[in-house]
Structure 1
Amino acid sequence: MDEKSGIQALDRSPPVLPMMPGMPERYSHDYVHHGVTSLFAAFDIADGAVISKLYQRRRAAEFKKFLVAIDKAVPAELDVHLICDHLSTHKTLVINAWLAKQPRFHMHFTPTGSSWLNEVERWFGFLTGQLLRRGVHKRVAALDKDITAWIEQWNVDPKPFVCRKTTEEILESLARYLQRSSGAMH
């Protein structure tokens, strides 16, 4: 799970120019900023489904509300393992007190600087590429509505991320890279 904070409701002026054959897509350099929203999302690595909530702020209070939403969404007989980064809101007294009363919740923290290991970050990439990068929103409420609709559509047929390479293939590729880069002249 993670938060994508500071998602901007932007009214691009003029809107993204349509692509013409042989020309790359272009963006306007100017826009009107209409506020921000923060998306809290938990990605189920087994089936690819996403539990999400949008909040105007990203504090421990909102994180606790999100944990309660996860608690309600996940069947009671299952344990909940959350892989998250070291954001200070994940470790406040309020959160620790709530977690102490929730024995089925288990927090796992990625090493500092390694939140890319968390699969929800890849899912945020899909959201950004398919909705946010080209989005035009005159109000935060419209942005929230579009994000919610996109997530609902994702959850109709969610897909987990699957590594297609074996451990040996990954290590061989890394070894080839290291061999090439260690012989490079700098």
Structure 2
Amino acid sequence: HRTIATLVADTTSAAISPSQVGRILAGLDLKPHKVRGWLTRRDNPQFWERAADICNLYLNPPNDAVVLSIDEKTAIAARSRKHPGRPAGPGRPSRQEFEYIRHGTVSISAALNVRTGEVLTQPIVRNNAATFIDFLRTLERTINPSHAIHVVLDNGASHIARKTKAWLADHPRWHVHWTPPHASWLNQVELFFSALTRRVLRHGDFPSRDDLIDKMDTYVIAHNTTAKPYRWTYDARPLTAT
């Protein structure tokens, strides 16, 4: 408020107090001290066509087909707290030590079965086309050969690489549904990554990379025992003014 009052005085020669600035901003419901990230996307027909295609796939999956949502979660930090935390008590949240020790990072590939909610994850060393194709081969071997495979992919480098597209072209039962640019949130596996972050990673304590992998695997196994498909509500239509 003091900075704005000074700027107004310097540029307009009008005297205004910091408290008056505060009242004006409050009256206009303006909060110039707050900034949120924003990514402008082009509102073109291709966005809505791709979004509608993916939503229709979720809501009306083809018969005798497996529908997969695939992506990677990279650079997951294996960190252990430098000192033990304190458990929660009446009227007091649990406390977690601020300082931590790094033990490296882990990246994973994940495939979510949209029909069942079950997830297959696999640790990866590199996030490149060769690694991604190896993951596709694993899925290819485990899925009934009589079923078509519909897969939702974003526009990550390993997904749109020439070698990846060549592999997909050589396997005609794979049908790719591409998310629009800057709309990877249409990929349902992101919902699983969000749950994994909240329930395992955010407040976890991992003394090694192997411990981090073990705890993620334990979570995935438990998730799959009670897995249910996500309820998809976005209908791929532009919002209309009311």
Of residues 141, 162, 182, the one that matches 1:93 is 162
Q: 1:23 to 1:52 in 2, by over 3 A?
A: same
1:140 aligns with 2:214: no
1:93 shift after superposition: 1.9
1:42 aligns with 2:111: yes
1:166 shift after superposition: 9.3
How many residue pairs get aligned? The number is: 172
Whole-Å separation in 2 of the counterparts to 1:132 and 1:35:
14
- Off by >4 Å, runs of 4+ in structure 1: none
Q: Output the amino acid matched with 1:57.
A: R
Whole-Å separation in 1 of the counterparts to 2:85 and 2:142:
37
Q: 1:11 to 1:68 in 2, by over 3 A?
A: same
Q: Is the 8 A contact 1:60 1:92 kept in 2?
A: yes
Q: Is the 8 A contact 2:82 2:100 kept in 1?
A: yes
User: Which SS does the other structure have where 1:36 is aligned?
Assistant: strand
1:27 shift after superposition: 3.3
In the alignment, what sits opposite 2:183? 114
Whole-Å separation in 2 of the counterparts to 1:17 and 1:72:
47
Based on CA coordinates, which of the two structures has the bigger radius of gyration?
2
RMSD of aligned Cα (Å): 2.2
Whole-Å separation in 2 of the counterparts to 1:58 and 1:15:
34
In the alignment, what sits opposite 1:150? 219
In the alignment, what sits opposite 1:51? 120
**Unaligned ranges ≥5, structure 1:** 180-186
1:77 aligns with 2:77: no
Q: 1:144 to 1:166 in 2, by over 3 A?
A: closer
Q: Is the 8 A contact 2:87 2:93 kept in 1?
A: no
Per-residue CA distance 1:90-118 (angstroms, 9 max, x = gap): 11122122112111111211111211121
TM-score by length of 1: 0.83
In the alignment, what sits opposite 1:182? none
Amino-acid identity (%): 33
In the alignment, what sits opposite 1:183? none
TM-score by length of 2: 0.65
